[in-house]
Structure 1
C-alpha cells in the first residue's frame, strides 16, 4: 500500500498485491478505491525499476553560462531518469492548455532545455526527505535553482550563488500529502487528500552530497577509481640489448638472459600495479583480494632455476592481459538485478557543476535491468576476476616427468587471452577451466579449451590432438615441454612433430659458446645470430611462417635447452659454399677477437697480406680474427682471406683507436628565475674533427649526436639541474668502426643560497620552510633554536624562539657560509579587554558612555584599532597608562546594539577581540503584577476564581555565536494549572529574517537557519481548562 505511516516519501515500502472489482450499485469506501489505485501504481513503478532499470536514462546535463565574466544562468538539458522508488523524472514547463484554462498542474515536456537564473535557500520542511537529514535531525545545506518566470521576492540572481563550480546538482521530487481542512456539510466530493509532486533542481555542497551518498548502495563502482582504466602492459624483453650493453664480442651465459627478465619484472614490481588494480575492482564487486606477496615469492623461486625463468615473465604478461580484458569490459558493467530501493528513492544526482569529467562519480548512470543485457558484462567482469585469481593460484612450473615430452598446441597470435590455448605452466583444474574462456563457459563448453595437459579436457579428437585437424584459424603454435631437455633430444622431438604434422615453421639452435663441430646448418653462434636477427622475442612458441629458436648452454658434457625465442620469418641459413664470414667488416685495433664462420668445417684460414702478423689466430681449434695481432702498417687497408687456399668474399678493415680529450671549459650557472645551466665543452686531439660524437649530458643512457666547432667547443644547456645529483657527462667518439668512451665528472660547482618566504613572522605562527641551495646544505641560525631539520627539509619555527629575542634580527648560514637571509619574530599580543562600566542615557540625553579596561603585561607596546558600531570602520585609540579607555556612542538603537571589535597589533601579529552586545544591559523598568481580579455581581464569571497562570523561560536574553552553533534551543515551562497548551513564535527581527522553529506547540523548540541579527521570541502557556494564560519574551542576539 502507499499510505505508509512511517515512510510516506517512499511508495514501494509496502506493495499492494490485490484489489477489488466493483459490482453494480455497490457502495465503495475510500479504502477500497485507494486499494485499486495503489495496486496499479505500485506495479507500474515495479515494472520500471525491475524490467528497465534506475538512474539517468539520457540528457539532464548541466551547463553553466557566463556573460561578461559573470554567471548568468544554469542551463539543464531535457532528459529522463528513474528513481529507485519508480518515479519517472523529466523537465516540465507550464503548457499552453494550462495557461489558457488557468490550470496550474498541466505541464508540457516538449522542451530541449531549461534555464535556471535565480536561486534561494531550500528548506524541505514539507516532505522531510530522510536523505537530506543529518544524524542530529537538521537538514544539509541546499539551494533551489529557479527559472526566471518563477523567480519571486525571496530569490537571488544565480550569479550570487557562492562558489557555483563547487556545487553538486540534484534532481529532487518533493513528495508529500497536502493537508486539508476537515469536511463540513453534506458535500465532501472535492475534499480528497492532494498528492503533491514538485520537481526541484537543488544544489548541494561537497559535504552534503557525500552525506546523501552514504545510503546509496547502487552508485559505488570501480569505474570511478582514479586511473582504473589506464592500460597495464608488461615491458618487453629485447635480447639485442645484451649486445648493445656489453658488446658483440662479449661472452654470455644463462645468467645474462635471466638478468634481462629479472630487470623487466623488478621494474614493474612483479606486477604490483596490476594486483592493486585487480584488488580494488574485486573489493567493489565483493570478491576476495589476491595475495601479491606470496605470488612474488613464487616468481622469485622460479627465477632461481636454470630453466623456466622465462615463464615467470610469461605469467606476469598473462595477468596484465587479463587485467586489460577486465578494464575493457568494466565501463559496461552497470547491470543491477534488484536495485536497492533506499539508494535514491526521490532524487537523482546530476554531477558537479562546471565539471567536464566524463566519468563523474557524483552523477548517477543508468543501472539497467538484467532483462536488457542478461547481466553479461557484469558477469564477465566477475569471471575475469576469478580467472586472475586462478592464474595466480595455479601457476606452477612443472618438472619434466617420465613419458611427457614436447607438445605443439595451436593457439592465436593476438586477441583476448581466453581465446588462446592454456599455457602449460598452469595447473588445470575444473575451476580453472570454468573461468579461462567466458564464452565457452557460458555455453558449458569449458572442456573444449586447448592446452598442454588434456586430462580434464573433452575426449574429442580435435581437443586431444588439435594439430591433426583444421587449424586455419590458429596462426600460432604453443611449443612447450622442451626447456630442460638436452639439445639433441629437444631438436629431434620438435622436428619430428613439425614434419609429421606438416607445420609451417623452422627450427634453430643457438649456443652461448663456440661451435667446435658445426657440421649442421641448424646450429649457430648466439652473438652472431642475434646481431643478424634483432627481432628475436620470447613468445612461448612461434607464429606460422616463423622460426623457433632454442638456446642451449654447455654444462660439462650436457647441452641443455635453457630458453626459447622466435622470429616472424623463416631464417636464411648459410649455404654450403659460403666459404668464410666474419660478424663485422670493420673492426677497431683494440677490439677483442671475433670468430670466423668456416665452410667446410676444419678448413684452413689465411689472410692475404705480406706480413707475419696477419691477425688470424687459432684458439681451441677455432679460427678468430684478432686486430691486435695485425701489423700496424696494415691499419686502414682492406684485408682479404682464403680457405684452403681458395679466395673468399670475406674482407675486413682495421681502424686506429681514437685518442681524444674532452673536458668542461666553462659553466654558465642559473641566474634570477632561470633554471638553465649551460656547459661549454672543449674537445681536442689529433684529427678530432674527423670523428662522430654522441653525448649523454643527463647520464640517463640517452645520447644525442653533436659536433664541436672548428675550435673544438660545443655548448649544451641543461634545465633544473639538482646540485645533489650532478650527472656525469658521457661521450662516445666513433670513427671508422672504432669507439672511444670518455666520462667527465665533478664539473658543477655548487652555489650557496638561502631564503625564507617572509622577513617577519608572528611568534605563534607555524613553521615555514627554507629554500636551501645546495640541496643537503646545513642551515644554522645566529641566535635562538628555531631551525629544525625534519623529513629531509629545514624549517624555521618561531614558537621555539625565546621571548627575549623577539624583535631582533636573526640571520642564518649554509654550510658555515653567511647568507643574506634573515627574519624577525614578533610577539603575539595576548591582552584582555573588559567593559567595566556603562553610563546609559538619562535626563533627555542620547549618549551612552562605555568604560574599557585593557590588561595583561606588555599591553602598552601594542596599537589598538576599535570598531564601536560594527560597521567595519576601525579607529586607532590607545588606552592610557593604566589601561583605561572611555568612548561615547550616541543615538544607539536598543534593538540593534553593536558588537564591539578590537584589533590589537604588534607589527604583523594581530589579536582580534570581540565584545558581544551583551555589554549593553540597562536597568529594567518596574513592573506591576496583578494577583487577582474580582468580578461584579451578575457577571458570567461570578463565584469563579481563576487560577493564576505563570510562564517561565530558561533565559530572557541570550547571545549565540554563529562560528560555534548552527542551531539553538528555546526552553519554557508554566505553573498554576494541570494541563497547558504551549506556543513559541518569533515577534521581531532587525533584519527581516524569519528563523525556522522545529515545532511551535512544544515547551522546547529548536531554532535553525540562523542569520546574524537581533531577534525576539514570545512563549505563551494557556490553561486548557480555564483559558487563563501568561507570556514571556526572549531576546536573542546572533553574532558572527
Structure 2
C-alpha cells in the first residue's frame, strides 16, 4: 500500500457534508476517513516528531529467546507502532515480503534481502523453526543481527463471489506489526533511513589555541614578543575552519549575510589584525585569537543535540523503525522497589501480532557503550526520536547558531587596539573591570577593550546571547561601557557589589611608563579595596635599571642600630667629658685654647657621623661614613694627646672607646650584607628569575580574585610592554614603607659626679712607667750594694710622654740596662750619655723613633697659624708612617711580649696624628691612625 502522507493531495482536504435523505457513496465515506487519517498522521509527524519514543529494545535471553521491550514509535508516514508489554519470541521463519513489497527490503535487482520474522509458539499457528537452532542453521551469530519493527501494510481484495453469494464486501486493509531480524551486512538500504544526528557538529573540529609560553631564560623584549607571536600560526587554522563552518551552516546563515559569503572579508581582516603582532601590543592580538577560538568552539557546541526535524520526509522510514543490535537481556526480578511488569491485558486480541507477555526486561548495554546518551543504547542501527521544533524549542537553537556567527563577524570587524597615541592620559586610560574568568562562556565575561563600539555593528550587541534576547546588551561590563551604558552600575562597576565576580580585567596601561602605571593601579586597588596584588618586573637582566623598593631587613637594622647607637653614645660621653675638662682649666693656662680647639673639632666630627644616613637606607655612602668615623677617632685621639695631664679616677675614659671602636669594620660587614640582600631582591624582579620562583605565570588580560597582577616593562624606556598574572597572592613582605625604628638599650651613662671627682691631674705616663721602673730601680740598688758601686738612686720624676723617658735615660748615667717586659729593650750608652738604643724583636728602631719624636716636638710647639705648619705636619706624618711600618711586621705583632713597648710607641703615634690641623693632611693622618689601631688590635687579640 502506498504511503498515506505521500499520497495526500487537495482531495484529502475535502469531504462531503452529510445531509438528510442524501445518497451516501463509498467515495464520500472514504474522503471523510482519509481526511481524518491524514490529519492524525500530520499531527504526529509535524506536531510531535518521528522515530522511537520509548522502549522497543531488543535482546536475547538466557534461554535463547529474543525479547522486545514494550514501547512506542512513530513512522515518517505517521503510523503509531506500539507494543504494550514486554514480549518473547522462540520461533523464526524466512520473511519474503510478498504482500506489501516494501522498497527498503529489496536490492537493486528487486530481490528481497534475507529477513527472518520472529514468532511465538504459544500464540501463533505458524510457529516456524525453533530459535535455539538459529545460529546453527544460518551459520551466523545472533549478535550480528539488527531488529526491525515493521508494519506490513497492504490491501487484501477478496473475490466478489463466494460460495454463498456474490455481494461486494469491499477490500480489506491489512496492517500487521512484525518483528524482523536482518543481518548487519544487508542493512545498506535500511541504514539510509536513519537521519544523521549532529552531522553539522561532527563535520567540524574544535580549535585548540596554543599557549604563550615564557621561559626562565628570557632576557630581552624580542624574546618576550616572540612568545606571543609564536602562537599566531593559529591564524591559518582559524581562517580555514571559519570558512568550513560557514559552508556547513550556510543554509541557516544566508539571511543573516544577505546571501553573501563573509569569509573572504574575514580572512583579509584577520591578516591585518595579526600583523599588529610585531608591536608591543602583541599580547592583545594573542587575546583576540583566543577569543575567536573560544567563540568558534562555542558555536560548534551549539550545533550538538540538533535532532530537530521540521516537516520530515514521508519516505524516510514510512513503515518501519530500526531497533538496534541484539544485546544480552534478562527478565528483571521485580522486588526491592523495582517497577512491576505490566500485567497482561485481558482484551480481545487486536489485529496486529502480539506475542505473549513476559516479565520486565533488563538489557545489557555492552562494554563498548560507555557514553551517556538520551536512550542509553547505540544509535548506529537504531532510530532515535527526531522531535518537532515545538517540543524543545529547537527554533531557539537555530537562533543561537545565527548569533554565534554574528558574534564572530562582529569580533573580526570591531577588533581595534587603543594605543598610547589614542588613549587619554594615564590617570584616565587605566581601568579595572570586574567579570568572570575563562571557565565561564565568552558571553558571561567582560567585553575586552580592544573591541570598538561601532554603532553599525555594536560589539556589545553581539557579545552575549542571553543579554541580546533580553535587551540587556547595554548592561554588559566593559572598558568602553561609558559609550553605551546609562547605568552607573555598568560604567562604574567597582562602586557596586563585586562579590559575584571572579576576575578583574586590567586595561589601558600598555605603552605607558611603569612608574605612572604602578601609581595609578595602586590607587585604584587601594581606593576600591580590590582583592588583588601588584608586582612590577623587568624583562632585561640589568640590575642597574631595577628601582630600589622600600625593603626592610629587621635583623640588619637591629644590628646596625646597636652598633651605631653604641658609638654615638660613646661620642656623646666624650663630648660630656671634654666640656667638663674645659671647665676645670683656668683661662690663664696656655694649653686651654688648644684643648678647646680639640674639643670643638671632636664635636664637629661627631656631628658629621651622626648626620650620616643609615647603612640599611638608600643613599648611604660607606666611604664617607668611614671617613667621618675615622675623623672622629682622630679628633678623640688629638684631644686625649693634649689632655695627658688628666687621668680618670672613677671610670675608663670614653675617648678610648671611640679610639678603639670597631664600627668601621662592622659597617663594612653590614653594608655588604645589605647590598647582597638588595641585589638578591632586585635580581628577583627580573622576569626570568621571577618566573623561576613563581610558577604559573600566565597572560590573561587581568587577574583572578586573590591573585597577583604582574606588570612587565623594558629597561631602555621604562614602558610597560606586557602583563601576566599569578592565580595566587605573591606579596613582597620585605617592602615596609614605614619600618619600625629599632632603639636598643644604650650603654650606661657616665655617673654624674662632680667633675673634679671624675678625673684628676695625675700624669698618665707616670702611672704607666712607675709600675715598671720601681722594680728595676730596686733591683739596681741591690746590685750596686753587692758590688760596692756608687751609683745614685733612680730619680722619680713625672713623665708626660715617652720622650721624657729618653731624657731620663740621657741624664742618668751609670744605669746598666732598663728592660721592659715584653722583650723590647732600651739601652743607654755606657759612659757617653748619647741616645738610648731601642730594640724591638731584635730590630733597632732608635733612629726612626728619635726622628719621629723630634718632629712631634716641633709640631707641638708651632702656633696654629704658622706658615710652615703644613710642611712640618707632612714631615711628622712621614716619620710616623715610617715608624708604624717598622712595627707592623709579623715578628713584632705575633709575639705578645712586645706589646708593652710597641703600645707605648703607638700611643705617641696616636697623639701625633691629633696634632695635624691641615685639612688636606687629615685623611693621611687617618690612615696612619688606622694602621696603628690595626697593630694595637692585633696585640689585644693575642693577649
With the length of structure 1 as denominator, give the TM-score of the two structures. Answer: 0.46
Higher relative contact order (CA 8 A, sep 6+): 2
Q: Which has the higher strand share?
A: 1
With the length of structure 2 as denominator, give the TM-score of the two structures. Answer: 0.50
> Highest Rg: 1 or 2?
2
